Copies of this chain bind each other. A is one copy, B any other.
Amino acid sequence: MINISSAIEISGTVAFAVSGSFSAMQKRLDVFGVLIMGFVTAIGGGTIRDVLIGDTPVAWMRDYQLPLIILGTVIATILFKKYIKAFKITLFLFDALGLGLFTIIGIQKGLAAGLNPGVCVALGTITGCFGGVIRDILLNDIPLIFRKEIYATACIVGGTIYVLLMGTINEDFNKLLAVAMVCAIRIVAVKYKLTLPRFYA
């Protein structure tokens, strides 16, 4: 399980870093701006999580591997941007997988810190979604996840199922189920262009 988790986490990080770099290039930032956007999109959610629960220095500072992977990803994105566009669907799937795994990682960190299950689901959702929120704030947009598609909702549903089933079924199976649920909701939402309802004040 560890190797699979680790591989999915790296794929998710890569997908998030690509997404941040692309947004930055579309906004015509310089090469440093592109690098920073790749980083914050990939590590932003986990950083906010660690700061909120007080697990500092935050994760990416204690990890030798992840910053290098992100750096390599951003450079590759800049060099091969034309080709990467062709892998749009692959990237979307990595992003969905990463979103699911990041959510579960966040929940597990919250449980380990002794927080109540509802707060842990919120923490998992923050881990999965807030890299993109910081990306959008830095690029001066209203965060995408508040406006379009079902994104955070996938984390909340998957995370809630994980917390409810915890202890009743095999842990590894529960984890896989929750990640699969997050992915499935994302895929269905994007394929059928599902959106959450709006209420105007």
Which secondary structure dominates where chain A touches chain B?
helix
Q: A31 — nearest CB in chain B belongs to which residue?
A: B196
Contact with B along A132-176 (1 / 0, CB 8 A): 010001111111011110001100000000000000000000000
Q: Which residues of B contact A201 (CB under 8 A)?
A: 21-22, 25-26, 81
Q: Is there a chain B Cβ closer than 8 Å to A119's Cβ?
A: yes
Q: How far, in whole Å, are A64 and B28 apart by their CA atoms in the complex?
A: 42
Interface size on A, residues (CB 8 A): 59
**A15 CB → nearest B CB, Å:** 15
A200: contacting residue among B26, B138, B147, CB under 8 A: B26
Q: How far, in whole Å, are A113 and B56 apart by their CA atoms in the complex?
A: 10
Contact between A67 and B140, CB atoms less than 8 A apart: no
Q: How far, in whole Å, are A201 and B58 apart by their CA atoms in the complex?
A: 31
Q: Which residues of B contact A33 (CB under 8 A)?
A: 143, 145-147
Q: A63 — nearest CB in chain B belongs to which residue?
A: B119
Number of this chain's copies in the complex = 3
Q: A82 — nearest CB in chain B belongs to which residue?
A: B201
Q: How far, in whole Å, are A42 and B198 apart by their CA atoms in the complex?
A: 21
Q: Which residues of B contact A52 (CB under 8 A)?
A: 47, 51, 56-58, 61
Q: A29 — nearest CB in chain B belongs to which residue?
A: B146
Q: How far, in whole Å, are A61 and B200 apart by their CA atoms in the complex?
A: 30
Contact between B140 and A142, CB atoms less than 8 A apart: yes
A153: contacting residue among B21, B32, B123, B138, CB under 8 A: B32
Q: How far, in whole Å, are A47 and B119 apart by their CA atoms in the complex?
A: 14
A195: contacting residue among B25, B30, B62, B133, CB under 8 A: B30
Q: Is there a chain B Cβ closer than 8 Å to A27's Cβ?
A: yes
Contact between A30 and B197, CB atoms less than 8 A apart: yes
Q: How far, in whole Å, are A9 and B109 apart by their CA atoms in the complex?
A: 29
